[in-house]
Amino acid sequence: MVVKFLDLKKQYLSIKQEIDSAIFRVIQNSAFIGGDEVLCFEKEFAEFLGEGVKTLGVGNGTDALEIAIESLNLPQGGEVLIPANTFVATAEAVVRNGLKVVFVDCGRDYTLDIGDLESKITPASVAIIAVHLYGQSAKLNEILNLAKKYHLKVIEDCAQSHGATYNGRRVGTFGDVGAFSFYPGKNLGAFGDGGMIVSRDFDCLQRCREIAHHGGLSKYEHRIIGRNSRLDGMQAAILRVKLKYLESWNARRREIAGLYLEGLGDMLDIALPEVKPSCICVWHLFVIRTLKRQTLMEVLRKNGIEYGLHYPLSLPNTPAYAPFVKGIECKNATCWEDEILSLPMGEHLEDKEVQKVIEVLKDTLCG
Ligand SMILES: Cc1ncc(COP(=O)(O)O)c(C=O)c1O
């Protein structure tokens, strides 16, 4: 038995009829860019998030972040505080906007460490990106308080947290602007690239719309220098189908996380992920830490269990971003690079597969 890290084919087969007819509908209507499917998905995703947010479909999650940041008109060269441990896109979006990244260490919940965050705020700071990593919200109360105190903008990177909540409210609805990715492997994934910008500020979203649509709100209007970034009709139609299942898929992820937490709870060699009481985590990834990673990876491989590393290097230690680091340490992020290990996670998993992962890990560590 192979235990898959991700099984998109199984997911497709479970909703095949609906997906096939959605794709057929798009072909029949031939509204490939823009059109009703995109408008409906934007509306349905906004309703899903609640709090009166407005939404704008774009080409992918990286574009969503980049355009969201651009819309805030931050002063060139300003410093944006981001976590050291995140997917590289968070940093790319900052640097590509002519801003500087300042890396902040992560806490035991793998999101921004608040003490380190405040210590790195300077007069040049302009914004914070709260990344809701692995499916769990960052510590938004503290982040929003710091942002208020130091007059900083807050951008939420929700690429890994579709449906996650903080104090009962969905992530993406807290900051000045938020960005989602619909990369196929995400909790809500398209059949290609896709992204969404969300904001409660209508003007901010209109600026995003102009940027993403060649600098204007209508065809051949170019008020500002824009670019092209669009969610296409086919992806929107597919995402509309999948959105109906997101809650139940996330609930299944929580059940699996429960099995791991219970099954591995007494393993001294494993540090389990910590969930804050204020959060409902949607478990995009289930990441453990262990000093015995090399051994565990070999045993998992031998037993046909797929795993991942998120991320093999924290950003300050990558060749691209090392030059941005001026002796500022991110101790946890650096130390945990060699310890983190992502176990299979997703609604595709059967209980018996999760139990197999638990048994293999236990046998190796106890045997
Ligand atoms: C935290 C984070 N931010 C941004 C992105 C970028 O999204 P995309 O791959 O859709 O460009 C991703 C996903 O890959 C991500 O995990």
165 and 276 assigned to the same domain: no
159 ligand 1 Cβ < 6 A: yes
pLDDT (0 to 100) of residue 328: 76
141 and 262 assigned to the same domain: no
Closest-CA residue, ligand 1 atom 8, reads 61
pLDDT (0 to 100) of residue 327: 77
180 ligand 1 Cβ < 6 A: no
Q: Is residue 353 part of a domain?
A: yes
213 and 291 assigned to the same domain: no
Active site residues: 186
Q: How many angstroms separate the CA atoms of 67 and 98, rounded?
A: 13
Tens-level pLDDT at each residue, the chain (367 residues): 899 999 999 999 999 999 999 999 999 999 999 999 999 999 999 999 999 999 999 999 999 999 999 999 999 999 999 999 999 999 999 999 999 999 999 999 999 999 999 999 999 999 999 999 999 999 999 999 999 999 999 999 999 999 999 999 999 999 999 999 999 999 999 999 999 999 999 999 999 999 999 999 999 999 999 999 999 999 999 999 999 999 999 999 999 999 999 999 999 999 999 999 999 999 999 999 999 999 999 999 999 999 999 999 999 999 999 998 877 789 999 999 999 999 999 999 999 999 999 999 999 999 7
Domain that residue 326 falls in: 246-366
Q: Is residue 263 part of a domain?
A: yes
264 and 345 assigned to the same domain: yes
Q: How many angstroms separate the CA atoms of 213 and 328, rounded?
A: 38
Q: Is residue 20 part of a domain?
A: yes
159 and 93 assigned to the same domain: yes
134 ligand 1 Cβ < 6 A: no
Last residue of a domain, one of 210, 225, 241: 241
Q: Is residue 41 part of a domain?
A: yes
Q: Is residue 136 part of a domain?
A: yes
pLDDT (0 to 100) of residue 1: 84
Helix (H, G, I), strand (E, B) or coil at 22: helix
Q: How far is the CA of 181 from the centre of ligand 1 (A)?
A: 6
161 ligand 1 Cβ < 6 A: no
Q: Tell me how many domains the chain contains.
A: 2
Q: Is residue 257 part of a domain?
A: yes
301 and 210 assigned to the same domain: no
116 and 35 assigned to the same domain: yes
308 ligand 1 Cβ < 6 A: no
What CATH number has the domain bearing residue 348? Answer: 3.90.1150.10
pLDDT (0 to 100) of residue 105: 97
What CATH number has the domain bearing residue 190? Answer: 3.40.640.10
Give, to the nearest 10 degrees, the angle between helix 351-366 and helix 233-263.
40
Structure tokens at 105: 């260490």
Closest-CA residue, ligand 1 atom 4, reads 89
182 and 260 assigned to the same domain: no
Q: Which atom of ligand 1 is nearest to the CA of 133?
A: 1
